Amino acid sequence: MKLRVLVIIPAHNEAESIEGVLRDILHELKSVDILVVNDCSTDETVEKIQKFDKNIKILNNPFNLGYALSIQTGIKYAARHDYDFVIQMDADGQHLALEAKKLLDACVEKKADIVIGSRFKKNTGYKSPFFRRFGTKLFEGMIRIFTGKTIKDPLTGFQCLNRRTIDYYAIPGNYPEYPDAGLLIEMLMKKYKIVEVPVKMKQREAGVSMHAGFIQPIKYMITQLYTCVIIFIKFIGRTK
């Protein structure tokens, strides 16, 4: 039976990089559907996609929903249209389609619920800013303390999800603003099988990161730390 795979790309003003990302996916992942969730871009993101390939599905958010809710929109679409797997990729060109293939293969072969494309499982030469490195180590430690499991790259959005996870994430309220360490703790505590696969990633090609600046990373850290603790308290002793 042929597996139905949907690649979800949330995009907000990614006109400079989106074409390259789509070309890469179409070249490396032959039989997948691509869904771009346009989060109210004000540049030519949508026009570029339409010009590039008319078969690429586009969903336009009625107003700016942010990164996580845009991904969840795509996940809801996948659940509604009976896709077996979802691959989340960023529109900034960091995630490579060739590596996405590895995630999908691992998801099928290892029967994993979530496969994380990890920059730090093996040394891939990826250089990240200080805040990200610090955050990665901090949340790796928190996940280990709360669940006993090691996730080397808990902050990446490069993931492959199976049908069980798609159905869970599609429920309103089940996909938080920052779908990182807190969500991984929740899924591990709910006994979902999470596998990490080492992948290569490029540096962002264009645009501005959602964690750029000084205040945003601090807000992110504090929110995530709080989320991790509360999620642990919420789900301790619960498996459903």
Partner 1 sequence: MSNIPFIIIAITVILYIIISIRRDKLSVAASFGWIIFCLLMFFFAIFPTSLDNLAFSLGISYPPTLFLTICIVVLFVSNFRDDKTIDELKKKVDDLSQEVSILKGEKNDKK
Point out which residues bind partner 1 (CB under 8 A): 37, 57-63, 65, 69, 72-73, 76-77, 80, 172-173
Q: How many other CB atoms sit within 10 Å of the CB of residue 53?
A: 12
Q: What is the maximum span of the chain, computed from C-alpha positions, in angstroms?
A: 52
Specify the residue, 62 or 125, whose C-beta has the smaller distance to partner 1: 62
In whole angstroms, how close is the CB of 50 to partner 1 at the nearest point? 11
Specify the residue, 79 or 115, whose C-beta has the smaller distance to partner 1: 79
| C-alpha distances in Å from residue 21, one per residue of 29, 42, 52, 181 | 12, 19, 11, 26
Long-range contacts of range 130-138, CB-CB < 8 Å, 24 or more positions apart? 131/211, 131/217, 131/221, 132/211, 132/217, 135/217, 135/220, 135/221, 135/224, 138/221, 138/225
In whole angstroms, how close is the CB of 9 to partner 1 at the nearest point? 14
In whole angstroms, how close is the CB of 193 to partner 1 at the nearest point? 27
Specify the residue, 104 or 183, whose C-beta has the smaller distance to partner 1: 183
Of the candidates 10, 7, 4, the residue with the CA atom closest to the CA atom of residue 175: 10
In whole angstroms, how close is the CB of 173 to partner 1 at the nearest point? 5
Specify the residue, 24 or 33, whose C-beta has the smaller distance to partner 1: 33
